[in-house]
Amino acid sequence: GIGFANILRNILRQDPDIIMVGELRDYDTAENAVQAALTGHLVLSTLHTNDAPSSIIRMLDIGIPYFLVQSVLRGIISQRLVRKICPKCIETYVVDSKELQQMGLEVSGAGGITLSRGAGCLHCRGTGYYGRTAVFEVLPYSKHMQKLTQKETSLTAIREQAKQEKMVTLRENAIKKLLNGITTIEEVLRVTWGQGDI
């Protein structure tokens, strides 16, 4: 039958400059995407993982040999959507920085921190939120990351290297949006649950 991998092979015959592959779900699709990248095409795709460092492990788990991952990977962007505070009913309040730290949210400074939330109005239908914005985690695939990408690569080692390279995590980016009055504590915790230890 006509599968996604077959379609991708046919697209390659058209000699495109850039290829967008919806998702790397299986070995056949991943293999074709890697072959396209090896022949000089820019290939963009998605993987379902919890964060950027996990994407390297996921590619290896799909069955892509580590030396091919080293050859074709250039960078990884992980993203999540957070709800934005409604601009019509936004209000500020003060929370103690220790309280935020108890929730696992690391913020600089001591004492009270001014945050925002939506009170709820007709515009947002009483939710306090209106619209969404993305929080990002960008992991450039450096020479050090290439050296770490081996058969027995551990996620912990990749995360540690990402930390050393000053990668801004999803949680750190979400906290920035929290402190800028774009989203709420609840949204930060919702989209970055389990991300506090990276």
* pLDDT bracket for residue 110 (50, 70, 90): low
Planar angle of CA 20, 51, 152, nearest 5 degrees? 95
- Residue 104 CA to residue 172 CA, distance in Å, equals 11
Query: What's the distance, Cα to Cα, between the start and end of the chain in Å?
Result: 43
Is 54 within a domain?
yes
Confidence at 189, pLDDT banded by 50, 70, 90: very high
- pLDDT of res. 185: 93
Q: Has residue 34 been placed in a domain?
A: no
Domain that holds residue 109: 47-191
Note the pLDDT tens digit of each residue in 135-152.
999 999 999 999 998 877
Q: Residue 21: inside a domain, yes or no?
A: no
Determine the pLDDT at residue 169. Answer: 92
> pLDDT over 90 for what percent of the chain?
65
Has residue 88 been placed in a domain?
A: yes
Q: What's the pLDDT score for residue 1? A: 63
User: What does the pLDDT read at residue 198?
Assistant: 44
3-class state of residue 144 by DSSP = helix
Above pLDDT 70, what percent of the chain?
96
Q: How many domains does the chain have?
A: 1
Residue 54 structure tokens: 């996990």
Residue 131: other Cβ atoms inside 10 A: 12
- Give the alpha-carbon dihedral of 7, 12, 17, 20, to 10 degrees: 30
Q: Where are the alpha helices (DSSP H) in the chain?
A: 4-12, 27-38, 52-62, 66-72, 97-102, 143-148, 155-164, 170-179, 185-191
On whether residue 109 sits in a domain, the answer given is: yes
Residue 17 domain-assigned? no
In a domain, 16, yes or no: no
| Per-residue confidence band for 196, with pLDDT thresholds at 50, 70 and 90 | low
67 versus 101: the higher-pLDDT residue is: 67
DSSP-assigned states of every residue in 127-145: SSEEEEEEEEEEEE--HHH
CA 105, 109, 110, 112 torsion-angle sign: negative
- The rounded mean pLDDT for the chain is 90
Question: β-strand 42-45 against 75-85: which pairing, if any?
Answer: unpaired
Whether 4 is in a domain gets the answer no
Residue with tokens 């090896």: 38
Higher pLDDT, 123 or 1: 123
**Residue 165 pLDDT class (50, 70, 90 cuts):** very high
Contacts of 172 (CB under 8 A, 6+ apart): none
Kindly report the CATH number assigned to the domain that includes residue 162: 3.40.50.300
